[in-house]
Structure formats: C-alpha cells, structure tokens
Structure 1
Amino acid sequence: MAAQTGWREWESYGDELASFLLLAIPIVFLYGICIGSFLNVVIIRLPRGESLIKRSSHCMTCGAKIRLIDLIPVFSWIFLRGKCHSCGEKISPRYPIVEALNGLLYVANLLVFGVSVNCFLMCIFTSLLICIGFIDWDTMDMYVPMLLMIAVLAVPAYFVTYHSIWERLIGLFCVSVPFFLIGEISGAYIKKKTGEKVRGIELGDTILMACAGLYLGYKSVIPAVFIGIFLAVIFGLIIKKVTGSSKFAFGPYLCIGLLLGAWFGEDLTDWYYKAMLMPIFEPERMQYTTSSLLPLLFR
C-alpha cells in the first residue's frame, strides 16, 4: 500500500513535524481506543448472534448494565481494577488490550501513511483484521460478510493509491487460488484416510486472502502470507507443546501478516526482486548489489 508515501509526506512538514505529531498522535490514539471499544462488542456478540446495537453494554456474568462512567475505553478497566462494579467478578483484560491495540495501530498507520485517505482506509482495514483475528481465535471460524468488507475497501483505494487494476486482480488470485487448492486436496486426503471433513486450509482463510489481495495488491499480500505462515508455524508448535493439541486458528496469524504486509510488503517485494530475481531475468538492468538495497527497507 505504498507505505513510503507517508514517510515522504512527513518530510514536507520540516520543523513543524514535532508539534504536529504532539497534537495528532493523542487524538488518533483516543479515537482508536473508542473504536476499539466497539470492536469488543463485535467480537463478543457477533459469534453469538446477538444484536450489536439493541442491547446496551452489560456484565457478561451478572447481566448488570454497565454505567456510562465505566465505558471509558482502557481507563475504566484500570480504575475498576478489572472487576465488575455490580458483582465484583473479574473482567477479562482482553477488553482493554483490544482497545489499546486498535489505538496504537491507528497511530502506526498515521506514521506510516501520513494524513491521507489511504491512512483512513488502512484504519478501517486494521479494525476489520482485529475483529476477524479475535473471532477466529475464539471460534475457529470467520464471519464472511466482514471479510467481504475488506474487498469493498478496494474501490476507494483504487482512486487514492497508484496500484493498477491488474495488480489488484493478481493480488486477488495469487494467494487465494493456492490456498483453495491446498484446502481441497488436503480435505480430500483427510476424508479418505479418516472419514472426517477437515480442510488443511479453511475456506475462510482463502476468502480473507482473496479480499485482502484485491485491496492491497500482490506486492503486499505475497509477503503477508509468508509472514503469516511463519508465525503460525512458530506459535503452532508452542500451542501444541503447551496444550497437546495441534488444532489452532490460522486466521490471527494471517491478519498479523496482512498488517505487516500493508506497511512493508511493497518494499520487501521490490527488494527481493532487485536482489534475487533481477540478476537472473534482467541482468542488463542490474544496478544494485544486495547490500545497497537494504536501505530500501527502512526508507
């Protein structure tokens, strides 16, 4: 998603940068944690089939309505010492974690993409990834309409970024098609051996990568899938050692990979092509050594 555009934009601020960030970062963070509070509602209620707006916020243990003063994101949980004001039951620390995470990632998007429509779209994308990742972690399932909302972001993104329609179409298929084939082949093999209807890669993961590829383009989604697979392998081994179970949600790691891919994926792809592939396919255009390309990752 052209993260370097944001860095280039910051250079134009000059000496005013520090004062601007001093004002912008707290505002963006507070906005992010407020949105994060709503994300908690989505993460908890959506898998249960509950309305997101009809019923007011309530304690999940005693059902007591949460006071307005106790709805302040992050800070209310700290002031209440993580306990319900009515029954005294502990409130999961995940509530402030989701709120703070959303706020911090909004700030990161501001720093990476600058003040732009692209940054606004990335904040929506970030919140969707948080919901998708946590819901998948809890239920081992994904809410398809939420995945399709990522694809909808590709429409405005087409007009505010330089990615061509072809880059987005390649992104749509380059990961999702292999994922679909792996899922079908592995599912058929497992069914033949055990009789169970289990896919090696679930259809939700395939749809996620298709929609994200359409939004981000192939240069971001390809590094994203490798990052996601790497994280899934590492944490999958840890989970198996701790719990003894080899079943775990793949989606959260793909979501992390997609976020990192959106920030740094294009630079990684360009670096890999110039360092590894250009010497093979276009040696006459080779102008850089591998070492000279490293600064591209941190520009």
Structure 2
Amino acid sequence: MYIYCSIIVFVFGTIIGSFLNVCIYRIPMEESIVYPPSHCTNCGSRIKWYDLIPIVSYVILKGQCRNCGEKISARYPIIEFTTGLLYTMLYVKFGISIDIVKYIVFISILIVVGMIDLNTTDIYFKTTVVGLISTFIFLGIYYYNGLPIKTYVYGGIVGGGLLALIILITKGGMGWGDAEICTVCGLFLGLKLTFLMLFLSFIIGATAGVILILSGKKSRKDYIPFGPFIVLASIITVFCGQNIVNWYL
C-alpha cells in the first residue's frame, strides 16, 4: 500500500510539475497561465492531450514538437521529474498530514520562483503574493486547531527583515524580490529553521559565486541571482533542517 501511494504521489507531482512549467514560461511573458491552452512556442499549434503526458510524451516525441519538429527544452521533463521526486520525498517524511499539503504548496512556489529568477534574474510579486496568501491560510488552520503560530510569524519577520536590511546597507546589492521570498520562506518554516535557511543560502550562494568566478563564467561585476540559492537552501531545510539543528545543538 505504501509503495502504491508513493507511486500515486510521484505521478501527481509530475502532473503539477507540468503546470509549473507553464507558470515558469508564461509569468515572465505576462501571459495567462490558463489561456490559451498549451501550444508550441514555435509554430503555435495546440498540443494534444496525449502529447502532454509528463516525461512520457517527451521521450516518445524525442524532445521535438510533433507538428514542426522544433526542439523541446529538456528543462520540461527535468522539472516534472524533480517535482514528482520532491513530492514523493515529502510523502515519505510527513505521510498524509497537513504538513505534506503545506510543503507541497511551498515547494511548488519555490520551484517557480527559483526557475524564473534563474532565467530572468527577477522575482515577480504575483508569485510571492501566492506564497503569502498560502501561508495565511495554513497559519489560520494551525490557529484553529490550537497549534502555535508565533514562530512562523517571527520567521517571516526575520527572513524578510534581514534581507531588507542587507538591501538597504548594500544599496541594491540584492533585489527586493529576495526579501519577499525570504518572508514567505520564514512564514512557512518558522523562526529556528529560517535562521538555518538564511545561513545555508549565503553559504551555497558564496560557494557557487566563487566557482562561477574562478571558472570564468562570471566576473565580480556580474549580477548573480540569489533566489535560486534561497530556494535550494529552503528545500534542504524542509527535509533536513530539524536534523541539522538537533545535530548542532
């Protein structure tokens, strides 16, 4: 039964991953994520339902549009697979609970934010506002069930506040979108895990920056989006954060 549920969660994750691909592509283009239906960006032909099966359709079509032969980015099946894998890992960790629903929403938002920031170096408010609304819903559920919510409120204040302080001190060294997404992360993670998330994001960001500069792919004057590092650190924190905190203490 456990294996069957894991398979169902994985398949569900790949389907949501396909939708996340639409968000990642259309939000920066300021297009509706609902209309028009999925279509080839080269020839404009509408994609049939049987060519929209996550991962499978990409393999069958050999990464090409059925109508014009335009190459389809491998990013699409990678995000579908990654989303399915992360959802399955959440199921293994949290089982069927309110926490798995919360973190499914959280990780879905992170994937969209991280990929858009990586592609465009921008974090769009319409993505972070979805995150903020989601946190308020889950905090309301927690409060209704008598669970403490102060730690999540403090996490949001600290996450967004520290990034805002850095932005003000460095006079634009980071974008305000980074502060927005850190606020969302703090509201999802709570105070203790927010500190860990921030620490990991700076460590991962600094390491990646040094590697990019030493490899010649970036110079010291080039802008490196910080959002993907926040996203990666947040995902690590969701799965390993409490163990890391316990080990440190």
Q: Quick check: 1:168 aligned with 2:149?
A: no
Deviations 1:194-239 (A, max 9, x none): xxxxx11211111111121122201211111121112212222233
Does residue 266 in structure 1 map to residue 242 in structure 2? yes
Which residue of structure 1 aligns with residue 186 of structure 2? Answer: 213
Q: Does 2:206 correspond to 1:233?
A: yes
Matched, 1:118 2:99: yes
Residue in 2 that maps onto 1:179:
163
Report the counterpart of residue 103 of structure 1 in structure 2: 84
Shift of 1:145: 2.7
Q: Secondary structure at the match of 1:237?
A: helix
Query: Does the aligned pair in 1 maintain the 2:156–2:182 contact within 8 Å?
Result: yes
TM-score (norm 2): 0.91
1:243 paired to 2:217 = yes
Matched position secondary structure for 1:66: coil
After superposition, the Cα gap between the structure-2 partners of 1:110 and 1:207, relative to the gap in structure 1 and judged at 3 Å, is: same
Counterpart amino acid of 2:239?
Answer: W
What amino acid does structure 2 have at the position aligned with 1:177?
G
Q: Which moved more, 1:148-157 or 1:78-87?
A: 148-157
Query: Could you tell me whether the CA contact under 8 Å between 1:154 and 1:216 is conserved in 2?
Result: no
Is residue 224 of structure 1 aligned with residue 224 of structure 2?
no
* Structural mapping, 1:1-299, within 5 Å: 20-158=1-139, 159-160=141-142, 164-187=148-171, 199-240=172-213, 241-245=215-219, 246-272=222-248, 274=249
Measured in 1, the distance between the counterparts of 2:59 and 2:194 equals 37
1:119, CA displacement in angstroms? 0.4
CA contact (8 A) 1:221 1:265 kept: no
CA contact (8 A) 2:6 2:88 kept: yes
TM-score normalised by L of structure 1: 0.76
Query: Does the residue aligned with 2:113 lie in a helix, a strand or coil?
Result: helix
Q: 2:152·2:191 contact (CA, 8 Å) conserved in 1? A: yes
3-state SS of paired residue (1:141): coil
- Any gaps of 5 or more consecutive residues in structure 2? none
Post-superposition Cα deviations, 1:243-265, rounded to whole Å, max 9, x if no partner, equal 23432211011011111112222
| Aligned partners of 2:159 and 2:185 also within 8 Å | no
Aligned-pair CA distance for 1:182: 1.3
Cα offset for 1:136?
0.6
CA distance in 2, matches of 1:39, 1:171: 26
**Partners of 2:106 and 2:188 within 8 A in 1:** no
CA RMSD of aligned residues (A): 1.8
- 1:229 maps to amino acid: F
Distance in 1 between residues matched to 2:236 and 2:138, nearest whole Å: 18
Q: Is the contact between residue 151 and residue 215 of structure 1 (CA under 8 Å) also seen in structure 2?
A: no
- What SS class does the counterpart of residue 25 from structure 1 fall into? helix
Deviation for aligned residue 1:34: 0.5
Q: Secondary structure at the match of 1:82?
A: coil
Contact 1:220 1:264 in 2 (8 A): no
Flag the structure with larger Rg. 1
Within 1, Cα distance between the matches of 2:49 and 2:173? 45
